[in-house]
Structure 1
Amino acid sequence: MFSQTEHSVSYPTESNKSITILYGSQTGNARALAELLTLQAYRIFDQECVKSNLECLPTIHLLSMNDYAPVSRLVKEKGVVIFVCSTTGHGVPPDNMLRFWKKIMSRALIPGRSLPADLRFAVLGLGDSSYPMFNFVAKKLYRRLIQLGATPILSQVNSSQECEENANSALGLADEQSELGINGVLRSWIPNLWHNVLELLGVPISERLSTFISWCNMKDPNFVFSLWPKYDITCCSLIPKPSLQSTSEQSLLDRIVKQVESDNTHSFMSNPVPHKAQWFQVVCSNRVTSSDHFQDTRLLELTCKSHVDSNPGEFRPGHVLYVQPTNRKEDILYLFQITGLDPSERVKITQRHSNFPLPSLLEELKENQCDVSIAWLATYYFDLNATPQQYFIINYCAFAVNSLKHSESSTMQHIDIDRLQLEVDRLTDLALAETSDAIDDLYDYIFRPRRRVVEILAEFPVTSSLLSSQNIFDILPGPIRARPYSIASPPPTIALLVAVVNYRTRLSAPRIGTASNYLASLDTGDCLSGWFDTVSGGFNFDRLLTLPPPSCLLIATGTGIAPFHSFLLYQRTSLLPYLDRANYPTNVLFFGCRYSTKDYYFASDFQMLEQEGWLTIIPAFSRENVSGTAPSRRQYVQDQLAEYPEIVWSILKSPQSHVFIVGNQKAMPNEVRKALVCAVVSENHMDTNSAELLISQMETDNRIQIESWT
Structure 2
Amino acid sequence: MDDYTPVSRLAKEKGVVIFVCSTTGHGVPPDNMSLFWKKIMNRALIPGRSLPPDLHFAVLGLGDSSYPMFNFVAKKLYRRLLQLGATPLCTEIRRDQEYEESENSSLGLADEQSDSLGQRYKVLCVPTSERLSRFISWDNLKNPDFVFSLWPKYDVVCSSLVHNPSLQSTSESNLLYQLVKQVEFDNAHSFMSNPIPTNAQWFQVVRCKRVTSADHFQDTRLLELSYKSDIDLKSDEFRLGSVLYVQPTNRKEDILSFFQITCLNPTERVKITQCHPNFPVPHLLSALKENDCDVSIAWLATYYFDLNATPQQCFFVNYCAFAVNCLKLSKSPYRAQHIDKDRLKLEVDRLTDLASAENSDDIDDLYDYVFRPCRRVVEVLADFPVTSSLLTSQYILDILPGPILARPYSVASPPPKIELLVAVVNYRTRLSTPRIGTASNYLASLNPGDCLSGWFGTISGGFNFDRLLTLSPPSCLLIATGTGIAPFHSFLLHQYNSLMSHLNHDMLPTNVLFFGCRYSTKDYYFASDFKMLEQKGWVRIIPAFSRENTSTMSPSRRQYVQDQLKNYPEIVWSILKSPQSHVFIVGNQKTMPDEVREALVYALSMQITRIPVVLKYY
TM-score, structure 1 as length reference = 0.80
C-alpha distance in 2, partners of 1:682/1:437? 50
What does residue 432 of structure 1 align with? Answer: 356
1:175 aligns with 2:97: yes
C-alpha distance in 2, partners of 1:465/1:623? 49
Q: CA deviation at 1:186?
A: 4.1
What does residue 219 of structure 2 align with? Answer: 296
1:446 to 361, 370, 382: 370
1:484 aligns with 2:441: no
Change (3 A) 1:451 1:215: same
Change (3 A) 1:533 1:631: closer
What does residue 514 of structure 2 align with? Answer: 590
Relative contact order, higher structure (CA 8 A, sep 6+): 2
Question: Within 5 Å, which residues of 2 pair with 1:228-239?
Answer: 228-239=151-162
Structure 2 counterpart of 1:98, one-letter code: S
1:85 aligns with 2:21: yes
Change (3 A) 1:413 1:525: same
Structure 2 counterpart of 1:338, one-letter code: I
C-alpha distance in 1, partners of 2:353/2:99? 20
**C-alpha contact 2:243 2:411 (8 A) present in aligned 1:** yes
C-alpha distance in 2, partners of 1:582/1:328? 54
What does residue 481 of structure 2 align with? Answer: 557
**C-alpha contact 1:318 1:567 (8 A) present in aligned 2:** yes
What does residue 346 of structure 1 align with? Answer: 269
SS of 1:121 mapped into structure 2: strand
Change (3 A) 1:588 1:626: farther
Question: Within 5 Å, which residues of 2 pair with 1:170-209?
Answer: 170-173=92-95, 175-176=97-98, 178-179=100-101, 183=105, 185-186=107-108, 192-193=116-117, 195-199=119-123
1:574 aligns with 2:498: yes
What does residue 167 of structure 2 align with? Answer: 244
**C-alpha contact 1:129 1:177 (8 A) present in aligned 2:** no
SS of 1:126 mapped into structure 2: strand
1:423 aligns with 2:353: no
Change (3 A) 1:308 1:144: closer
Q: CA deviation at 1:577?
A: 1.7
Q: CA deviation at 1:353?
A: 1.5
What does residue 369 of structure 1 align with? Answer: 292
What does residue 528 of structure 1 align with? Answer: 452
SS of 2:570 mapped into structure 1: helix
SS of 1:236 mapped into structure 2: strand
Query: Alpha-carbon deviations, 1:88-132, whole Å to 9, x = none?
Result: 345432012235546767899999999887764311122345666
C-alpha distance in 2, partners of 1:109/1:352? 30
Larger mean CA deviation between 144-153 and 211-220 belongs to 144-153
Larger mean CA deviation between 109-118 and 572-581 belongs to 109-118
SS of 2:151 mapped into structure 1: coil
Change (3 A) 1:216 1:184: closer
Change (3 A) 1:99 1:228: closer
Change (3 A) 1:111 1:215: closer
1:463 aligns with 2:387: yes
C-alpha distance in 1, partners of 2:223/2:233? 24
1:691 to 604, 615, 618: 615
What does residue 196 of structure 2 align with? Answer: 273
Larger mean CA deviation between 373-382 and 617-626 belongs to 617-626
SS of 2:168 mapped into structure 1: coil
SS of 1:219 mapped into structure 2: coil
Structure 1 counterpart of 2:547, one-letter code: R
C-alpha distance in 2, partners of 1:448/1:128? 20
Change (3 A) 1:91 1:471: same
**C-alpha contact 1:127 1:176 (8 A) present in aligned 2:** no
C-alpha distance in 1, partners of 2:121/2:7? 24
What does residue 51 of structure 1 align with? Answer: none
SS of 2:206 mapped into structure 1: strand
**C-alpha contact 2:414 2:490 (8 A) present in aligned 1:** yes
Change (3 A) 1:627 1:439: closer
Instruction: Point out where structure 1 has 5 or more consecutive residues left out of the alignment.
Output: 1-22, 25-62, 155-167, 695-710
C-alpha distance in 2, partners of 1:229/1:628? 62
Name the Cα RMSD after superposition. 3.0
1:321 aligns with 2:244: yes
Structure 2 counterpart of 1:429, one-letter code: D
Query: Alpha-carbon deviations, 1:186-211, whole Å to 9, x = none?
Result: 476667535324545799xxxx99x8
Change (3 A) 1:252 1:118: closer
C-alpha distance in 1, partners of 2:442/2:126? 53
What does residue 600 of structure 2 align with? Answer: 676
**C-alpha contact 1:677 1:692 (8 A) present in aligned 2:** no
Q: CA deviation at 1:377?
A: 0.6
**C-alpha contact 1:620 1:637 (8 A) present in aligned 2:** yes
What does residue 498 of structure 1 align with? Answer: 422
C-alpha distance in 2, partners of 1:688/1:252? 72
Structure 1 counterpart of 2:535, one-letter code: Q
What does residue 135 of structure 1 align with? Answer: 71
What does residue 333 of structure 1 align with? Answer: 256
SS of 2:231 mapped into structure 1: coil
Larger mean CA deviation between 275-284 and 116-125 belongs to 116-125
C-alpha distance in 2, partners of 1:562/1:293? 20
Question: Within 5 Å, which residues of 2 pair with 1:156-171?
Answer: 168=91, 170-171=92-93
2:584 to 660, 666, 673: 660
Change (3 A) 1:651 1:225: same
Instruction: Point out where structure 2 has 5 or more consecutive residues left out of the alignment.
Output: none
Query: Alpha-carbon deviations, 1:529-588, whole Å to 9, x = none?
Result: 000111111100111011211111111111111000000001111111210111011111
Structure 2 counterpart of 1:179, one-letter code: E
Q: CA deviation at 1:619?
A: 0.7
Change (3 A) 1:360 1:384: same
1:222 aligns with 2:145: yes
C-alpha distance in 1, partners of 2:360/2:199? 44
Change (3 A) 1:185 1:404: closer
Structure 2 counterpart of 1:281, one-letter code: Q
Q: CA deviation at 1:671?
A: 1.3
Q: CA deviation at 1:592?
A: 0.8
What does residue 281 of structure 2 align with? Answer: 358
Question: Within 5 Å, which residues of 2 pair with 1:245-260?
Answer: 245-260=168-183
Change (3 A) 1:264 1:111: closer
